[in-house]
């Protein structure tokens, strides 16, 4: 609780959290206004799909920066060294700090999108179950990229290094990952399609999109070719859960391992 309270006070005094929230509010309101002329029945689903597609440009990169600079600030102010030398190990500190950062960011996102329900309910035919699918995707994406950002901040040695690595990570997941897979697409066969599927679903952006589209029932995999059935060898929800667990754990243990290496040096 001490770490969460400390993180909250630091964030409300700074500009990063408010900028993050302002961007989400601005994007959400603009999409809502643009969707006001859509039909009551279909507008709800179109709104959520368009909102997700637009938030992809902002949430990943902002979460990378917020996570990275939050942990880097502890190193700059020497509180990182003080805490791990007096009461916590490196692993314990990173775990508590991760929980604190995630609690603040996820809490802010959750509160806003619960408030966002009010105008949606008046404008469209609301399906709360479908809205929970959308909220799950947004919170999952926020969590993953924040955790990656924490890893970046834990091993970076300057703010410029953080900026460079964060932009590269965002660019990779947003553009390079799919572009690289496209080059292998002609060579996909029944023998290697599951491997291709595994690599494809390592991208949280694409995993979230497929989970959202199937959850909103705007996309279905009921009638698939045999090759596509092999590609979708389990449910989208399982892919997203596996993606969330894998990337979160890899990010945390990468941060832990590189911090110990840096301490040894």
The whole-number average pLDDT for the span 38-56 is 86
The whole-number average pLDDT for the span 111-135 is 89
More confident residue, 4 or 71: 71
CA distance 34 to 56: 18
258 with 154: CB under 8 angstroms? yes
Q: Which CA distances in Å does 215 have to 42, 100, 128?
A: 15, 30, 12
Side-chain-side CA neighbours of 56 within 13 Å: the count stands at 20
Burial of 129 (0-12, 13-18, 19+ CB in 10 A): exposed
Over the chain, what is the mean pLDDT?
84
Q: Is 223 left (phi over 0), alpha (psi -120 to 50) or beta?
A: beta
State residue 245's pLDDT score: 93
State residue 264's pLDDT score: 46
134 with 46: CB under 8 angstroms? no
CA distance 190 to 194: 8
User: Domain range spanning residue 245?
Assistant: 2-264
Rg (CA), the chain: 20
Span 188-215, pLDDT tens digits = 777 788 888 888 888 999 899 888 988 8
The whole-number average pLDDT for the span 210-235 is 76
Of 214, 29, 47, which is closest to residue 124 (Cα–Cα)? 47
Number of structural domains found in the chain: 1
SS3 39: coil
State residue 88's pLDDT score: 64
The whole-number average pLDDT for the span 141-163 is 90
End-to-end CA distance of the chain: 32
Residues of the chain with pLDDT > 90, as a percent, come to 32
The whole-number average pLDDT for the span 2-8 is 73
DSSP 172: I
Span 60-100, pLDDT tens digits = 999 999 999 888 887 776 665 555 555 667 777 788 888 88
């Amino acid at each position: 609780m001490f770490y969460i309270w400390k993180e909250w006070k630091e964030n409300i005094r700074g500009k990063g959290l408010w900028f993050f929230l302002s961007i989400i509010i601005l994007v959400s309101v603009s999409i809502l206004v643009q969707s006001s002329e859509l039909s009551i029945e279909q507008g709800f689903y179109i709104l959520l799909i368009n909102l997700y597609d637009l938030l992809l440009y902002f949430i990943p990169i902002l979460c990378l920066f917020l996570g990275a600079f939050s942990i880097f600030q502890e190193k700059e102010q020497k509180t990182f060294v003080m805490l791990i030398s007096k009461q916590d190990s490196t692993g314990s500190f990173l775990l508590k700090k991760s929980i604190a950062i995630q609690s603040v960011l996820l809490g802010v996102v959750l509160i806003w999108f619960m408030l966002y329900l009010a105008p949606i309910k008046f404008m469209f035919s609301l399906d709360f179950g479908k809205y929970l699918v959308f909220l799950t995707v947004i919170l999952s994406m926020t969590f993953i990229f924040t955790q990656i950002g924490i890893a970046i901040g834990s091993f970076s040695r300057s703010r410029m290094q953080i900026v460079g690595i964060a932009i590269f990570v965002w660019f990779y997941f947003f553009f390079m990952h799919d572009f690289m897979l496209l080059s292998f697409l002609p060579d996909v066969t029944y023998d290697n399609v599951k491997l291709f599927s595994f690599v494809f679903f390592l991208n949280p952006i694409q995993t979230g999109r497929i989970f959202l589209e199937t959850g909103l029932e705007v996309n279905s995999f009921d009638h698939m070719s045999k090759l596509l059935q092999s590609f979708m060898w389990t449910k989208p929800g399982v892919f997203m859960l596996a993606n969330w667990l894998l990337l979160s754990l890899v990010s945390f243990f990468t941060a832990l391992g590189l911090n110990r290496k840096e301490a040894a040096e």
